Amino acid sequence: MLKQYSRLLIGAAFALATTLIMSLAAAATKYTAQFVSIEQIVLTQYLICTLLMLPWLARKGITSLKTEKPLLHLTRGFSGWLCFYTYYLALKQIPLGEASLLRNSAPLIVPVLVLVWLKYKMPLINWLPVILGFIGIGFVLKPDGGSANPWHLVAFTSALALTVSIVTTRVLTLTEPTNRILFYYFTLSLLFSLPLALSNWQPIPLVSLPFLLGISLSIWLIMWLYTQAYSYAKATIIAPLSYFGVLFAGLLGWLFWQQVPDMMAVIGAVLIIGGGIGSVWLGRESN
């Protein structure tokens, strides 16, 4: 029992570290966007990640890229790229905490996509937290009680794209090795990033280079931390902890940009986080 408890604590620590790194990367992106275009940030991110995959490709050979799921890889690459691109665009324009919150609403959308695409039906009670979460999204999309802010809708687009990325990744992992999935994701996203980056090119100040490198490497670090977290604890423990990222992002937004959420945003956050945790809990493994 003590050993199991220790593993749970270690897994939770890895999960919290993941959310902290993600929040710091989001803050670094918001700061860097003052000097470098979002398109250049995204391009640099995927360029560095692709370069980091080259030693694996050299070791395994070009035959390691052979796949029977090219369309799924294309869908995964485009949705992953669109997720980061729209998220970074929103980060530049709206409070850090609200952008993070809307992006983290993706788990609420997954059951809808799975129902439509994979024809998987959930018990009716499992839809209750999903509905509550969507009500919360409505509160955040209208933080002033008026018409929806276009940049909040852009942040929600990031969640929609992340949902497609999550589901396609799950399907790909049934037949494809992890490194092949990552290679196609990074290289395809790099190609999607290139035209927009070239059309919005501007000189990159030297002061922004460390931030660009940190943002890019954070993806690799986040993936490693998440892998470690799930090796120590179940998804029912790890997934709800991801919502601490919203808290971290809100604190960073308050600390560096004096961004304080209003009551509508707070109510929306409670509903979204409660709905997300409820969805994970009701959908937990039976064993």
The answer to whether 215 and 26 have CB atoms below 8 angstroms apart is no
* From 94-103, 132-141, 206-215, 235-244, the region with the lowest mean pLDDT: 235-244
CA pair distance 152, 97, nearest whole angstrom: 11
Question: 193 to each of 72, 125, 156, 206, how far by Cα in Å?
Answer: 19, 41, 20, 22
Structure tokens at 17: 């570290």
285 pLDDT more than 50: no
232 pLDDT more than 80: no
Q: pLDDT category, 51, cuts 50, 70, 90? A: very high
CA pair distance 64, 181, nearest whole angstrom: 11
Q: Which of 216, 187, 162, 159 is nearest to 73 (CA)?
A: 187
pLDDT the model gives residue 3 = 67
Give the phi and the psi of residue 85 in degrees, each rounded to 5: -65, -50
For residues 214 and 125, which has the higher predicted lDDT (pLDDT)?
214
pLDDT the model gives residue 2 = 56
CA pair distance 209, 188, nearest whole angstrom: 23
Q: pLDDT category, 287, cuts 50, 70, 90? A: very low
The DSSP element (H or E) to which 171 belongs, if any, is helix 150-172
Q: What residues does each domain of the chain span?
A: 2-282
pLDDT the model gives residue 281 = 66
The answer to whether 175 and 68 have CB atoms below 8 angstroms apart is yes
Q: 100-113: per-residue pLDDT in tens? A: 888 877 777 777 77
Amino acid residing at 85: Y
For residues 92 and 115, which has the higher predicted lDDT (pLDDT)?
92
CA pair distance 209, 205, nearest whole angstrom: 7
Structure tokens at 110: 């997954």
The end-to-end CA distance of the chain, in Å, is: 17
pLDDT the model gives residue 286 = 40
pTM here is: 0.81
For residues 137 and 176, which has the higher predicted lDDT (pLDDT)?
176
Q: Which of 177, 186, 182 is nearest to 50 (CA)?
A: 186
236 pLDDT more than 50: yes
Residue written as token pair 């949705």: 79
pLDDT the model gives residue 42 = 95
pLDDT the model gives residue 122 = 65
pLDDT the model gives residue 237 = 62
The answer to whether 38 and 215 have CB atoms below 8 angstroms apart is no
Q: 62-75: per-residue pLDDT in tens? A: 999 999 899 999 99
Q: Which of 50, 44, 10, 63 is nearest to 177 (CA)?
A: 63
29 Cβ neighbours under 8 A, 6+ residues apart: 41, 88, 91, 215
Q: What is the mean pLDDT of the chain?
A: 82
pLDDT the model gives residue 37 = 94
96 pLDDT more than 60: yes
